[in-house]
Amino acid sequence: MKRTKIYQLILIIILTFNINFVEAQLLTNKIKNSHSDSLRGQYGVGRDWWDVTNYDLHVIFSISDSFISGYNDISFKVLKKGKYLQLDLQDPLILDSIIVYSNSLPSKKISDKSITKDGNAYIVSSNLFNSLPVNSSNIHLLAYYHGKPIIANRPPWDGGLIMKKDKNNNPWISIACQGLGASVWYPCKDHQSDEPDKASLWVTNTDTLITVANGRLIEVKNNNDGTNTSRWSVNSPINNYTLIPSIGKYVHFSEIYKGEKGDLDMDYWVLDYNLEKAKKHFLDATRMMKAFEYWFGPYPFYKDGYKLVESPHLGMEHQSAIAYGNGFKNGYLGRDLSGTGWGLKWDFIIVHESGHEWFGNNITTKDIADMWVHEGFTNYSETLFTEFYYGKEAATAYITGIRKNILNDKPIIGPYNVNKEGSGDMYPKAANMIHTIRQIINDDQLFRKIVRGLNTTFYHQTVTSKQVENYISVQSKINFNKIFDQYLRTVQIPILEYRIEKNMLYYRFTNCMKGFEMPIKALGLINQWINPSEKWQLAKLSPHINSVFSIDPNFYIKTKKVD
């Protein structure tokens, strides 16, 4: 036991040094980023001294002209002395005023002269911030605002306010803002690294429509003026971009799922004319929950329940209120992204977006440059779902099938501190990297323990890629440092060059980082495992299969026979 702990400590130190060095070498971004990129992406002096604990967001939607107004009552804790505060709110929305108050402080309106607009941020300078006692909590910043938010042209990829009509010409409204940021529709500290511990969302709109949002519905108040106000409450940490209302002609049905932590409320909100269709199609929700609790551990938000909410766009991982717009079809809008047929056995949006409840919502990256942690594991959740219900051969077909979608255009990890993602390969390539790592671990029980352990160790936390990488290496007792670097930080897919001479196999890796090596499983050898590096090595072919040689397709590499 003591030797194991010492080993783990040494491995952590080695990994941390190596990853820091490689990041400095490989992730140097020669593209010049703007001041606004840095202002949005850095966790600088306007952000690092205060920690958000609660958002109490009140918003009035004027549907006829896409106008919104309201305020966000932000509670925070003081971590250290602060010179100024950065509050994010994107054009063309306008910040009206800011009031600071607490139980021990008199309410104080911040002078307009103390508020400077800097692009999509407001820099609030006040001696008040420097006077706040360190470690004091429940300080409130009350931010009033109004305006017409950016309208999304192609949600969820192009974010903003979504204003549509259902097929009966009723208003249907939501928001998509991943990447773009929650400040596109409300004032907040718009950085993934600081999640409020809880949140409330009060939405006022016409009383002919229903508002559905994250967490639990607390009350619906009729305002006796043709509007009502719905209050939804989230009792878990939540990332800014998933705190989203959906407004429409919704109806509701529900069920209780007997899960690992007891009874889980599973609620479904769909447009009124899709009720019967949804009752049949949403059976995939409980199938998903059973598979993912097996692989990833208990659903992370029992306090807030699980919801599927029909949305006016394809889908998004809105925490405890998954946005669903897949048209009640299996596959991805009726298509199988793997091209194998297995992707048509289940609804892609239900499986994929719900997978984000574990990777993305439970475990959230501090910087979107590390979004592979969200998307790679969630993309791999599709393979694990397939394996759970249809077996390993089906899962292998699915994960190898999605390789055709890999571009290898740029590294998966993007530039840090500028709010920019890396390559879209964070989906299929990162999933295939995880699958390859699973083969190297070569112990499915241990792999499952590691994936569940990630969700336990980093429960309701924000993380870096480095933390996730180190955890996998330490728990598996295999140093995956070079493998993570190769697949996450370069665009090179290792090529196994080989030649066969007199029943002997000569092999090496090319198209790889200096010092790269990785064990792989080969067919046609007396010893199935080889550990190629950049240097030529040899192994003996099995005499029983006439020197036929191939690589196990579960490993994401390329092969090249040479003379």
224 token code pair: 């006796």
360, 370 in Cβ contact below 8 A?
A: no
The DSSP letter of residue 469 is H
H-only helix segments in 2-50 = 2-26, 35-41
| Ranges in the chain, pLDDT < 70 | 1-31, 544-547
Q: β-pairing, 322-324 with 306-310? A: parallel
Q: What span, in angstroms and rounded, lies between the C-alpha atoms of 410 and 490?
A: 7
> pLDDT at position 31, please?
61
> pLDDT at position 24, please?
35
Q: How many CB atoms lie within 10 A of CB 527?
A: 9
503, 541 in Cβ contact below 8 A?
A: yes
Complete domains list, the chain, with CATH: 2-29+340-489 (1.10.390.10), 43-323 (2.60.40.1730), 495-561 (no CATH)
SS3 221: strand
> pLDDT at position 546, please?
55
- Bond prior to 298 in cis (omega within 30° of 0): no
> pLDDT at position 82, please?
94
SS3 307: strand
217, 246 in Cβ contact below 8 A?
A: no
> pLDDT at position 547, please?
53
129 token code pair: 């911030």
> pLDDT at position 21, please?
37
Q: How many CB atoms lie within 10 A of CB 106?
A: 7
Q: Token pair 């998509």 is at which residue?
A: 176
H-only helix segments in 177-246 = none
117, 77 in Cβ contact below 8 A?
A: no
Q: What span, in angstroms and rounded, lies between the C-alpha atoms of 299 and 302?
A: 7
> pLDDT at position 103, please?
87
- Bond prior to 156 in cis (omega within 30° of 0): yes
Give the side-chain half-sphere CA count within 13 A for 310.
26
Q: What span, in angstroms and rounded, lies between the C-alpha atoms of 157 and 189?
A: 22
For the whole model, what pTM was predicted?
Answer: 0.93
Q: What span, in angstroms and rounded, lies between the C-alpha atoms of 140 and 144?
A: 13
Work out the burial of residue 17: count CB atoms within 10 Å of its CB; fewer than 13 is exposed, 13-18 middle, 19 or more buried.
Answer: exposed
